[in-house]
A and B are shown apart, each in its own frame.
Chain A
Amino acid sequence: MSQSLSGQLVNLLAAFLLLLAFEMLSQRRILTLIRLLAWQGAALAASTLIVAYSTGQTHLYFSAVLTLVLKVILIPWVLHRLIDQLHVRWDVETLINIPTTMLIGIGLVIFAFALAAPISEMASTITRSTLGIALASVLLSFLTMIVRRKAVPQVIGFLAMENGLFFAATSATYGMPLVVELGVALDVLVGTFIFGIFFFHIREQFDSLDIRHMEKLKED
């Protein structure tokens, strides 16, 4: 695969990642949110794989496999099981309405590109133009977390932010040292499990809150 072709493929995947981040921002169904998260992980794994192949950075193969197993299969599966057991399908409460959120999101993307521009120029990697996109998807996921009031979408936003950060690491520097990536992956995994435990505790403690919420929905 030639350098320019792989570069274009990575750019395409980066654009896909950004599109997914916007989609997550506007999405209200939790199942779809999880599916989008898995797609984001897949795009991340694919771009890592392409970079690994075209630059010969062998540790990136490992990182790609790790991303695939953790972010495309394991974490979405855990989240699926959780929401099945918790019977939460919808997340209707957003702090600001969706069109306004999208406008803020566009603003964030412009900001991210301005911020990343001087750094992108210094980068010598084939993926340098994607650093702005990586930063933009981090900020968009951050926004997703802020505007949601419910626990599950907040966590999905957090995981999406982690995806953006990994993408930034591969765009700027062909990934961080393996030991660090492993450590970060471990933290994310443990974090997801703790989040899972928390969902149950929260439901147990705030049970009445949830019921009232459902009654309110019926009244509408």
Chain B
Amino acid sequence: MEIALVLGVPLLGGLLLALVGHTRRAPEFNALMSLITLGAAALLTGRVIADGPITALEEQFFVDSFNMFLVALTAFVAFTTALFSRPYMRIEEHHGRVNSARLRLYHSMYQLFTFTMLLCLLSNNVGILWVAMEGATLTTVLLVSLYRTPASLEAAWKYFILCSVGIAQALFGVILLYFAAEKVLGPGGTALLWTHLHEVRNELEPTVLSLAFVFLLVGFGTKVGLVPLHNWLPDAHAEGPTPISAVLSGLLLNVALYAVIRSKVLVDGALQSNLSGALMMGFGLLSVVVAAFFLSRQKDIKRMFAYSSIEHMGLMTFAFGMGGPVAAFAGLLHMTVHSLTKSAIFFAVGHASQATGTQNMESIRGLIRQSPTIGWGLALGSLAILGMPPFGVFTSEFMVLTTAMHEHAWATPFLLVALGVAFAAIFGKVQPMVFGETTAQRLPHPPALVPVFVHLTIVLVLGLYIPPYLVDWYRQAAALIG
């Protein structure tokens, strides 16, 4: 029932917003639908906490502590982003970058995009997960190309082609998985259900599964933005509307990583070796290091933070690759705090570039003079994402690093150097943007800054104190995937 609500509301919202067209109240309606989705997700969370894992609709959907926290996080960030996009898109309309037809497309696709992400997370069927992931690509392609400038079209095209090709590899992985599972579970629908696959994972054919994992990792890894499959990511983040950059970074990358982790659990069961973990650690570490060095070369503010997302997704992939209760716990916590912090940063960045009329960092100066809240939001968000204590990112990064020192000491120098380089790059660029003589103008509509500070407060609280039930939740989830 709750699952039907979580999925039904954004789907209905998307269709309604497409049909009704752009009324003056569409942004409010968009936020309202996201709020109802969040409410339904909260109900679902309550039920999972009370009753434990549940399956629904002939086992086509299922919820356990791992996907539940991602569903809650996705619904939450989707709601705050909808709140942010209301004034943001209004200012864009004021600047003449979008018209009412585009806004109609924007709001409708925003809801459908939320729907596809939630479907990915809640579906028990690997095939449906694939379909929903491709659906998420299709909706976001339309969103990235919203401004219809040559650059945004090019970015969207690149995103479309690379992610479709990537995800086609994942489909081959799914076919191989079905092939192996069908021998154990028999043909028909059940051979693609996570819950059934999980039960028989020790009996699955190792050769087939190791090949399947390579395809799944490359396929979904393209969507996670792992180096060297990351080429679409900075363009798509830089050229699309900022609320979309926020949900792409904060949510979609997580959802793709979720698919990789679920696959890893199956493969680990079948292989009884560390092949999948080693592959993930390799890709993860490469992403962290390469992204860190690319950070300092960026001129466009959204591109820079897009590279920072690659770095953090790499760190999470590395953590989940290491495995074990502590690393998995750290990975899950990092998923949460990265989503919240990165979306908060994009909120601030969006308004900052609206106020200065540019995304070029050299022309953005003295934000704090014209609008203290935008300036502080960017400054604090950057400190948080760089892993400064007492923010939550520090906690999770610290846990990843200490586990790495214990178990894979060779990797720590790479991680430390990369984190240091990233720190120098981002800190050095953000500091003059925030302080000094200002180039910012007053915005034509009041900016949305509540979401920024709500997110940053949660990240701060998570750094100081993680509530016991949340710890339990992460522990359970870590045990599922460790």
Contacts and interface: CB of A to CB of B under 8 A. Distances in A.
Interface string B236-277: 000000000000000000000000000000000000000000
Interface stretch (B91-99, B203-211, B350-358): B203-211
B20 to A, nearest CB: 21
A205 B150 contact: yes
Contacts of A162: 168
A173 interface: yes
A142 B175 CA distance: 18
B436 interface: no
A84 interface: no
Given A123-B179, A179-B128, A165 B172 contact: yes
B189 interface: yes
A135 B149 CA distance: 37
A107 to B, nearest CB: 18
A138 B145 contact: no
Interface in B104-141: 125, 127-128, 130-131, 134-135, 138, 141
A198 interface: yes
Given A118-B207, A198-B156, A168 B172 contact: yes
B148 to A, nearest CB: 6
Contact of A202 (B130, B157, B176, B179): B157
Interface stretch (A5-13, A28-36, A40-48, A182-190): A182-190
Interface string A186-215: 110011001100100110011000000000
Max chain B CB contacts within 10 Å: which of A176, A179, A201?
Answer: A176
Given A154-B161, A158-B164, A190-B138, A179 B189 contact: yes
A86 interface: no
B189 A177 contact: yes
Interface string A37-77: 00000000000000000000000000000000000000000
Contacts of A165: 168, 171-172, 175
Interface in A134-153: 135, 138, 142, 145, 151
Given A135-B172, A179-B128, A190-B138, A119 B164 contact: no
Interface string B189-219: 1011000000000000101100100000000
A201 B164 CA distance: 19
B130 A119 contact: no
Contacts of B168: 138, 158, 161-162, 165
A169 interface: yes
A122 B165 contact: no
A119 B211 contact: yes
B128 A183 contact: yes
Main secondary structure of the interface of B (DSSP, over half): helix
Given A142-B165, A194-B142, A205-B150, A176 B192 contact: yes
Contacts of A183: 127-128, 130-131
Contact of B128 (A180, A195, A202): A180
Given A145-B161, A187-B138, A198-B153, A168 B131 contact: no
Contacts of B205: 122
A115 B156 CA distance: 33
B211 A173 contact: no
A179 B129 CA distance: 12
Contacts of B149: 205
B160 interface: yes
Contacts of A191: 134, 138, 164
A184 B176 CA distance: 16
Contact of B171 (A119, A123, A184): A184
Interface string B159-194: 011001100100110111011001100011101100
A187 B135 contact: yes
A156 B183 CA distance: 34
Interface in B211-235: 211
B229 to A, nearest CB: 14
Contacts of A202: 153, 157
A198 B208 contact: no
Nearest to A202: B153
Contacts of B131: 180, 183-184, 186-187
A174 B145 contact: no
A161 B175 contact: no
B142 to A, nearest CB: 7
Contacts of B182: 173
A20 interface: no
A172 interface: yes
Contacts of B164: 158, 191
Interface of B: 125, 127-128, 130-131, 134-135, 138, 141-142, 145, 148-150, 153, 156-157, 160-161, 164-165, 168, 171-172, 174-176, 178-179, 182-183, 187-189, 191-192, 205, 207-208, 211
17 contacts: A118-B207, A122-B183, A151-B157, A174-B187, A176-B192, A177-B127, A179-B125, A179-B127, A179-B128, A184-B130, A187-B135, A190-B138, A191-B134, A201-B148, A201-B153, A205-B150, A206-B153
